[in-house]
Amino acid sequence: MRISKLAAASLTAGFLFLTAGTAGATAMSASAATGTATVTVVHGIPNTPVDVYANGKKILSGFTFKTVAGPLQLPAGSYVIDVRKAGSAAASTPVLSATEPVTAGENATIVAALTASGTPVLTAFANDTSAAGTGKGRLVVRHVAAAPAVDVYAGSSKVISGLTSGQQQALDVPAGTVAAKVTLAGQTAAVLGPVNVPVTAGMGTVVYAIGSAAGHTLTAVTQQYPLGGAPSSAQAGTGGLGADPNSPIWPFAAIGGAGLALIAIGAAGAARRRRA
C-alpha cells in the first residue's frame, strides 16, 4: 500500500553510501560484483498466509507469519512487489503492492507488517552495512507491530526509548548474547521477551517486533546480515600449536627482542644523561 517515507529516505541514503563506499575498494561484496541486491523478506502479519510476487513472478509461496525468507539475490532495478493471499490467482488484486528500487550491492529487507493501528503495510528497510568496531556487532530493533511506542532493554539497561511502529534504531555492541526485553514506553513489564539475541562480530542482528498487541500475537523474529566491505585480513590463530617447525620465528623474535632491549637501554641512558 505504502512505503514509509523514512524507509524510502533510508534506501536513498543507502544507495548514496554504497556508491561512495565501493569506489575505492580493491575488492567488493559478491552482490556488488554481480550487480545484484541482497533482499530479505519478513512476514509480520498474523493469520495471513501469502504469496509474494516480484514484477509478476511468484518468488515466495505460502509465506506465513513469523517467517524470514532469504537472502534473495535480485538484479539491480525497480521491482513491483505484490502480496496476494496464498493460493490466489496471479492476476487477482493484491492485498499489498509497492514499487521497490534496488541497487547493486544494496542489502535491504522488505517487511509485510502491521501499522500501529493494525493496517497491513509493506515497509522497506535499508540494512546499514557500515563496519562496526573490532569484536562488535550491530543490534537493530525494528518495531513493525500493531502496538504503541515501546522501550527496549538489553538485560536491565534501557537501550532504546519510545520507538514507534514503523521505526528502527541500531546500536553497536560487543559480540555475545543480549537478553532483549520490550516494554510499552515508560513501563517495566515486558510485552515481549526477554529473548536471547545472538550478536556476532562483524554481523548485524535485526530483531523485528511483529504481530498485534490487541490480538495477543506480539512476537519477535531475527535476521542476520554481514557488515563491512571486503576484508583485507584474517587473523585465525593465537596459540602456536600449528607452528611450522621448518620456518621458526624465534631468530627474528630474538633479534627483535634484542632491538627492543637496546631501545630500553638507550632510553634509560638518555634519561640518566638528562638528569646529569
Site for other proteins in 168-187 (CB under 8 A): 175
Give residue 202's identity as a one-letter amino acid code.
Answer: G
CA dist 250 and 107 (Å) reads 46
State the nearest-atom distance from the C-beta of 174 to other proteins, in Å.
11
Q: Is 247 in the site for other proteins (CB under 8 A)?
A: yes
> Which stretch, 111-119, 179-187, 207-215, 250-258, contacts other proteins (CB under 8 A)?
250-258
User: Which residue in this structure is represented by grid cell 562480530?
Assistant: 201
Q: Is 16 in the site for other proteins (CB under 8 A)?
A: yes
CA dist 161 and 158 (Å) reads 7
Q: What do you get for the CA distance between the two ends of the chain, in Å?
A: 82
Which one of 47, 55, 61, 92 is in contact with other proteins (CB under 8 A)? 55
Site string for other proteins, 226-245 (x = CB under 8 A): xxxxxxxxxxxxxxxxxxx-
Cβ proximity of 227 and 202 under 8 Å: yes
Residues 6+ apart with CB under 8 A from 153: 159, 180, 181, 182, 183, 194
Select 173 or 192, whichever has its Cβ closest to other proteins: 173
In the range 185-204, which residues lie near other proteins by CB under 8 A? 200-204
In the range 65-124, which residues lie near other proteins by CB under 8 A? 69-80, 99, 101, 103-104
Select 168 or 224, whichever has its Cβ closest to other proteins: 224
Select 167 or 224, whichever has its Cβ closest to other proteins: 224
Question: How many residues are listed for the chain in this entry?
Answer: 276
Burial 112-149 (b: 16+ CB within 10 A, else e): bbbbbebebbbbbbbbbbeebeeebbbbbbbbbbbbee
Which one of 136, 142, 143, 181 is in contact with other proteins (CB under 8 A)? 136
Cβ proximity of 116 and 162 under 8 Å: no
> Which stretch, 21-29, 114-122, 143-151, 189-197, contacts other proteins (CB under 8 A)?
21-29
